[in-house]
Amino acid sequence: MNLALYREFRPKNFDEVIGQDFIVKTLKNQIKTNRLTHAYLFCGPRGTGKTSCAKIFAKAVNCTHSSDGNPCGMCAECVALSEPNTDIIEIDAASNNRVEEIRDLREKVNFPPLIGKYKVYIIDEVHMLTDSAFNALLKTLEEPPEYVIFILATTEIHKLPATILSRCTRFDFKLVPTQLLSEHLKNIFDKRNISYDEKSLYLIAKAGEGSVRDMLSIADSVASYCDYKIDYQSAEKVIGLSDRESIKNILLSISKRDINEIFKAIKNALGMGKNIQILCKEMADFIKNLIMIKSGVTDYAILDIMPGEFKQYADIANLFNIQYLKSAFSKFAEIELDLKYSLNPENLFESACLEMLDYNDIEKNVSKPDTTYKNATANNVDTKSTTNKNIENFEKVEIPNELKDKNFSVQNSTQNSNMNKIWGNVLRKVKENNLFALSNALTTVNKVEEIAHKLIVHTNDSSSYEMIDNKERIDVILKLVKLFDDSIEAVEIEYDKENASTQDIKDNLKDVFKSKIKFKE
């Protein structure tokens, strides 16, 4: 269960913002003296209050009864702006980074605010904008209408063009000291009747590493695990400072290429209440240690392990070659940030673990993957890189035997028999591109049909449905389908609830991956 402390305790006015006193004071003064500028830049690490401050600021400039620079929360403007509205516009540049979107913004800028005095644009992760989008934005920043305020927020200031920087009033948000975090947490726990001891409080605050959001997400996990009565031992367990056993188990199962064990090991780790972000960080740290051991480091202090643990680490290090470990390390370091934004962090972590099966040359225990497998690893799904010749070859490919099982009912339908063949090729492509997680999910598909240039993919497995039903994955499938049938314009996944049954995923996986993965019988 998630208590969502972060959402509940998001600051509603400047006085509730933690650890950014200088910024808060300056912003309040600007509001009180009505000396506002048209463009602000909030930069600094994640979870330090940039977006919260931007939202409070957006309300405060419109509030008609503001006191000491804070929005009152009661006046008509404050109330209207707390609901979805057209005057405070939040744009996540990570997903709306194209020039078209900024042009759209530029057009809408011309409509004056409906509720209060100002229309406020909050552009989050602004460094993600493309060059042309930056140029388009710049034109608006140069001559904004009187009633428009821009607040640009970013964690990566160095990626912003100087032309943008020079037009903004800049505020640098700082990491929040552990002491302040711990006081804040104490307040929240008291309000929520969650019991704790001082030591646990400090431990959780420290694990937040300066970010209010991260700390509260960790506090969520700890409180849920301890059923609202936090003790140090459990907190330590969830935060994982002393528990490296679960990481070892995950890596061991990966070295054996045993999918059952991989899922079991991840489930065990998370079942202990461990926060997934911490698990990922530990995974990266653990792998970093293995790389150092492989490189000849033997100093316990540098490795940050106990003397007695060295042999255990060395044994695991011996299972992998260094190149393999380096790829794995980058992968987990890379998804650490994504996990924080992901709606389904567990899936992301699982697929990263499964992806480790793609890397070649686990040193022991495993027969070397064949060459076609190796070549496939180098290719990503990209229709452009697939030559026509390749497509011809694929069209000649028969439906793989493993797909001709009884669950795959498409074969009975004559009108869709061509679709059946195409689907077989699509599955083959998915496998060749080593999209393991997707491939797993697609093994539960029991029917595909074409209706008016739309490919409907049916599954009776709810978790596969959830896994596939996301724009990115649907796009991948569409791309692949188009390789074989250009007339298909859309792909849709449908969950056949009435036929829902628990499929023997293990059998399906065995069919799909054949020799690549060993199962315990």
Q: Which positions lie near Zn ion, rule CB under 5 A?
A: 63, 65, 71-72, 75, 78
C-beta of 78 vs 185, nearer to Zn ion: 78
Structure tokens at 65: 């009864």
In the complex, what is the shortest distance from the CB of residue 61 to Zn ion, in angstroms, rounded to a whole number?
A: 11
C-beta of 115 vs 292, nearer to Zn ion: 115
C-beta of 71 vs 369, nearer to Zn ion: 71
In the complex, what is the shortest distance from the CB of residue 274 to Zn ion, in angstroms, rounded to a whole number?
A: 42
C-beta of 55 vs 294, nearer to Zn ion: 55
Cβ atoms of 219 and 204 within 8 Å: the answer is: yes
Question: d(Cα 113, Cα 352) in Å, to the nearest integer?
Answer: 45
* Helices 345-355, 259-271: inter-axial angle, 10-degree rounding: 140
C-beta of 17 vs 133, nearer to Zn ion: 17
Cβ atoms of 128 and 93 within 8 Å: the answer is: yes
C-beta of 75 vs 488, nearer to Zn ion: 75
In the complex, what is the shortest distance from the CB of residue 77 to Zn ion, in angstroms, rounded to a whole number?
A: 6
C-beta of 72 vs 488, nearer to Zn ion: 72
The CA angle 157-160-166, to the nearest 5 degrees, is 95
In the complex, what is the shortest distance from the CB of residue 31 to Zn ion, in angstroms, rounded to a whole number?
A: 12
Question: d(Cα 460, Cα 500) in Å, to the nearest integer?
Answer: 5
In the complex, what is the shortest distance from the CB of residue 79 to Zn ion, in angstroms, rounded to a whole number?
A: 8
* Long-range contact pairs involving 286-290 (C-beta distance under 8 Å, separation at least 24): 286/244, 286/247, 286/248, 286/251, 287/251, 287/325, 287/328, 287/329, 287/332, 288/329, 289/313, 290/316, 290/317, 290/320, 290/325
Q: How many CB atoms lie within 10 A of CB 54?
A: 23
Cβ atoms of 136 and 7 within 8 Å: the answer is: no
Structure tokens at 231: 């003790």
In the complex, what is the shortest distance from the CB of residue 153 to Zn ion, in angstroms, rounded to a whole number?
A: 23
- 490, containing H or E segment: strand 490-495
In the complex, what is the shortest distance from the CB of residue 27 to Zn ion, in angstroms, rounded to a whole number?
A: 16
C-beta of 32 vs 482, nearer to Zn ion: 32
- Give residue 293's Cα distance to chain centre: 30
Structure tokens at 139: 């034109």
